[in-house]
């Protein structure tokens, strides 16, 4: 086992760096820039039962140290992902990949997860119950412990691979949601998804994005993410995947000290498409600086 290796729900990763869903497509787009097999894994674009065009445009608004997006889970639907996207992905990425799943009902989640669970290259199912910009679904499941548990239990009934529940930070008690998922059988927890944000155009006196509100991400939310990862990691026994404003090797180590077994990088990919590769390359240098022998030994090390 190397210095950077970590274990996520029983699957060994060469390193803990994972591009987050929605910021890395299906991998092959980034494979044109560098060999993406240097990554631990990646979470591919959020997939729903049926195809979705997404929200109306404009969908993006810039903010200080971040951005707001309301893409609305645009994707071709699970059948097309399996028939078209995964074969292309397999040509460029030769490790288990994380499948990110969204839905608008418990049945939707179960259907999509059952389909993706059968795919050889899928290593984990990251079940997104936290999307803040889709009407009638997504975040509503992630803000109520009972609903979160119901989705978790339904997905676990029809899958054999590790199920990781992706949580919303837009709650008053993140620990109760995480524990409800764990009690219902979740193999891991990932957090945080985006905070709910908004920008207003001063000239037009109207919201910048058509959806009015959307998911606020970027380095500005990093302290909130570290706090929530710390709280959840100290409350559950299953592995935690930390994310939210991560943009450098130091951030990865800070997340791991807070309790993350692996770390996802989101908005930073949209600023610098090489950021995840650069983080992986720089980790040994930063580990030496802080006298860290192996990353696995520092998980949850901040007390």
Which residues carry out catalysis? 131
Q: How remote is the C-alpha of 9 from its chain's centroid? A: 15
- What tokens appear for 186 in the block? 């979740």
From residue 68, give the alpha-carbon distance in Å to each of 5, 121, 163, 222, 265.
Answer: 33, 31, 28, 15, 16
Q: CB of 254 within 8 A of CB of 241?
A: no
Give the DSSP H or E segment for 114: helix 106-117
Cα dihedral 205, 22, 171, 150 sign = positive
Q: CB of 193 within 8 A of CB of 131?
A: yes
Sequence-distant (6+) residues with CB within 8 A of 101 are 46, 47, 48, 109, 112, 113, 116, 125, 126, 127, 128, 155
Helix axes 222-233, 249-258, angle to 10 degrees: 30
């Amino acid at each position: 086992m190397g210095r950077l290796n970590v274990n996520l729900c029983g699957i060994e990763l060469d390193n803990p760096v994972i591009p987050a869903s929605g910021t890395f497509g299906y991998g092959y787009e980034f494979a044109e820039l560098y060999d993406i097999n240097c990554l631990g894994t990646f979470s591919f674009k959020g997939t729903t039962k049926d195809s979705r065009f997404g929200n109306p445009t404009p969908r993006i608004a810039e903010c200080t140290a971040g951005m707001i997006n309301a893409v609305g889970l645009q994707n071709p639907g699970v059948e097309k992902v399996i028939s078209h996207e995964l074969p292309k992905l397999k040509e460029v990425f030769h490790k288990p990949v994380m499948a990110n799943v969204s839905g608008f009902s418990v049945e939707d989640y179960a259907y999509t997860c059952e389909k993706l669970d059968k795919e050889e290259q899928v290593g984990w199912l990251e079940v997104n119950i936290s999307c803040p910009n889709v009407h009638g679904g997504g975040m509503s499941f992630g803000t109520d412990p009972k609903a979160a548990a119901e989705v978790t239990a339904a997905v676990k009934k029809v899958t054999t691979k590790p199920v990781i529940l992706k949580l919303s930070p837009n709650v008053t008690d993140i620990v109760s949601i995480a524990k409800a998922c764990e009690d219902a059988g979740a193999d891991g927890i990932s957090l945080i998804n985006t905070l709910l944000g908004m920008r207003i155009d001063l000239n037009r006196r109207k919201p910048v994005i058509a959806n009015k509100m959307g998911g606020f991400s970027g380095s500005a939310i990093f302290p909130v993410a570290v706090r929530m990862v710390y709280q959840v990691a100290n409350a559950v026994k299953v592995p935690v995947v930390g994310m939210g404003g991560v943009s450098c090797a130091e951030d990865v180590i800070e997340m791991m000290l807070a309790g993350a077994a692996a770390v996802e990088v989101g908005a930073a990919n949209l600023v610098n498409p090489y950021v995840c590769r650069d983080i992986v390359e720089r980790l040994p240098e930063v580990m030496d600086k802080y006298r860290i022998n192996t990353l696995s030994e520092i998980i949850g090390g901040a007390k």
